[in-house]
Structure 1
């Protein structure tokens, strides 16, 4: 993990989810969640490995039944990504997956049941040195808080969180992180702001049920980006109704845009206008697909004309600036003698970007 900037960060304690540090100014980790049936062991393993390849630092997996817990035991043996078990209602499932090596438990203490059951989960987590995420969602608030506030306000989310945190404080257990998620942007932002001043534990950022790929990404970027700019947040998950790999991509795009953490290529491209001298849109779309496997941080600029092209090129790792028949190529801000034919440039440009990525990777390992 690579932090590329140091925005002011809220001071928090550090916990570990597997080998991934969370809190205490550690790099902000990106999480996702499987959407395969956990009892489909092969499909779940394949998806976890795909998420890890896409850059996910931590993967959450739902364990709704004891059969799923037994499947988890086999899944855990065949993957390397730290796994968080999502547990609701039946506290015994949490005890079982703890025995099977889970790296973190995600529970909503309010739906686990009475304090005796919560105590059992906490004692088990302490024994196995496993952190817990207290996950508060606007859609599953305690009934008394629903009556008190009449709607899922930020104050209701925070009161629920503090109530559950008090259970843990009474049990002298502080190895936890907290989320206060809402599907409403303003409610989520306010809840995290309120909670951030009242506890020292790490905060897990996210919107719950954010929406589809486009709308969910926009809403998540606004909410999570706003909080990160204020120094609030230690780990994040983008909740999208799409392939979970897209959640990882959006998460890194948010961090990359804020210069917090960089992974892979940052494309700088003009929206195009009548001045464009080659097909910027299709070239950028094609390159994004071709170069998804590159994890080396790079800025690649594709600009369709000479108006803003040279200025952007001087700040990019590699840049292409449009001319009528053949386009100018820049590397590390310097214009090269080589020019690229607009009709045949895509393969050559991909090859040059890959060569540069390999060079940077080797240089960083020296």
Structure 2
């Protein structure tokens, strides 16, 4: 069953209206015995946020859908690439709360994962608008805002304070789970893919808040380094952009939480590391050899499937760190939804925008 976010349980003054319940929480925290050759190895199963369609975006949507409903919106728009996980998550979950969906999307390299997502977006009946490049997003968003003034537009990946707060809560949730584990085994680094920066900013702020709260309650929790593996280019995944998003989320929460959520940017910056070594050839392009090795290693360890756009890159980074830091406890933040995706009927596919049909017909890049 869906459960209340940890953030609201700790701070009930935030009120029940901050989130619309979509996720099944808490998500499991598991050990990875096959990768332990010394220090502890963990995985946070964000892939299991929902049996309908899981992954990290479910937490993002809880805050954004709540705001859209309070504003009386009938349709909610996502923005991103043709294979946007955020757009797919929205298309799956918006009907649960009475919202229609739309997607403003732009091209990306054709991979099987991206094509499967674009195909599912058509099958789920989202209203689709395409543009030739991401640079056209602001114009497209303004056009839709004037065309449908009652609709609600989300930023790419949901990267706004109302989308980030779900991941602040996820960090507090993890701290609560770690209380059952000796402090010396607590992860020193949390490794995840960073695309829009929404999850990364939330974890960065949430871990800092969890450390502050634990000190006040006499517990020993040390905020881990958020090791964010770049999958989208600069400046989207620049440290400055992520810190700005974390700071704006803290300001959003401050009226209810007060000084406990105030942090100096330099203190948050010390806990953020942007991994550029596993970006590969660019956004949407497979990591090739290292990505394939990571996928096989995860499969042999009964870990979640790694897609070539996001998870192979973060998975490869996690495995490299596990070898380079044998005495340092590590945690992998699994963000990929595992559910099979729907296939549109021929009639719906024929009615899709021409740019989407051409994208689906393109030969996918080989891993």
TM score, norm. by length of structure 1:
0.25
Which is helix-richer, 1 or 2?
2
Structure number with higher relative contact order (C-alpha < 8 Å, ≥ 6 residues apart) = 2
**Structure possessing the higher radius of gyration over alpha carbons:** 1
TM-score (norm 2): 0.25
- The structure that is strand-richer by fraction is 1
